[in-house]
Amino acid sequence: MSRPTATSLVKRSRSRGRSGSSRGRGRGRVSRAQVLRRRLLLLGATVVAALLAAAAISPFLDRAVQEIVLPLRHEDVIRQQAADKNLDASLIAAVIYAESNFRDQTSSAGAKGLMQILPSTADYIATKSGGTEFEQGDLATPQINIAYGSWYLAYLLRKYHGNERLSLAAYNAGEGKVDQWAIAAASRGEPFRVADIPFDETRKYVVKVLDARRRYQTEYTRELGL
C-alpha cells in the first residue's frame, strides 16, 4: 500500500478548503435571501397596516374636513326656528354661514352674533315680535340671535313675496336699497335678477348663500331635519 505524498496531501487540503468555502458562501447567500424576504414581508405588513388604519380613520377625517369647509352648529335651534317661522332650515344655516361662519362676532358696522344683526334691526325685531325684555347683550346668545335673524328673514320673504334673491339682498344691503333696485327692474319690465344688484358685495353674498344652501341640503340632511 502506497503512502500519500506531500503533494497529494496539499492538493486534498486545498480541495477541501475550496469545497468548504463554497458551502460557506452558499450558506451566506441563503441567509441574505432570508433577510431580504423578511424585510419585504415586514414592509408589506406595514403597508397593509397603514392602509387599514387610513380606512378606519377616513370617515372621521372626512367629517372633520366637512366641518371646517362647511361648519354647522346649533342645529337644534335652527330646526326649531325653521319650524316655528316656516323657513327652510338649510336657508337659515346658509345665512349664518355667509354672515359669520358660525362664529360669534361683531362686525366693524356693529352687526352682532351668528346672524350679524344690527342693534337698530334688533330693536325693530324686538318691538314687532313682542320681545319686551330684550337687551342688546342678548344677541350674543345663539338661541336669541338665531331667533331674531330667522324672524327678520321670514319678514323679508313675506315682504318680497317669497323672492329669496330679493330677501337675501335686503338682509345684506338693507330694504331701502333693494326696494330701489326692484322698482328699477319693474320700470324696465324685467324681473329682478341677481345680476341687477349694483353692489358687488351684495351680489356675491346672495350667490354664496344660495350655493351654501344647496350644500347644506345635501351634506346635513339629517342634522337639519330636511
pLDDT digit string (tens) for 108-143? 999 999 999 999 999 999 999 988 889 999 999 999
- Is 177 or 41 the better-scoring residue by pLDDT? 177
Rounded to whole angstroms, the Cα distance separating 214 from 11 reads 92
Is residue 99 annotated as part of the catalytic site, yes or no?
A: yes
Q: Is 43 exposed, middle or buried (0-12, 13-18, 19+ CB in 10 A)?
A: exposed
Residue 15 has pLDDT above 90, yes or no: no
Task: Check: pTM over 0.85? Answer yes or no.
Answer: no
178/167 Cα distance (integer angstroms): 8
Task: Look up cell 496539499; give the residue.
Answer: 10
CATH of domain 75-219: 1.10.530.10
Strands (DSSP E) contained in 61-211 are none
Beta-strand runs (E) in the chain: none
Inform me whether the pLDDT recorded for 9 exceeds 50.
Answer: no
Catalytic residue among 67, 75, 99, 223: 99
pLDDT at residue 34, as a whole number: 76
Using H for helix, E for strand and C for coil, what is the string for 2-31?
CCCCHHHHHHHHHHHHHHHHHHHHHHHHHH
* Predicted confidence band of residue 214 (pLDDT cuts 50, 70, 90): very high
- The pLDDT tens digits for 21-78 are 555 455 545 577 777 777 777 777 787 776 776 566 655 455 555 566 899 999 999 9
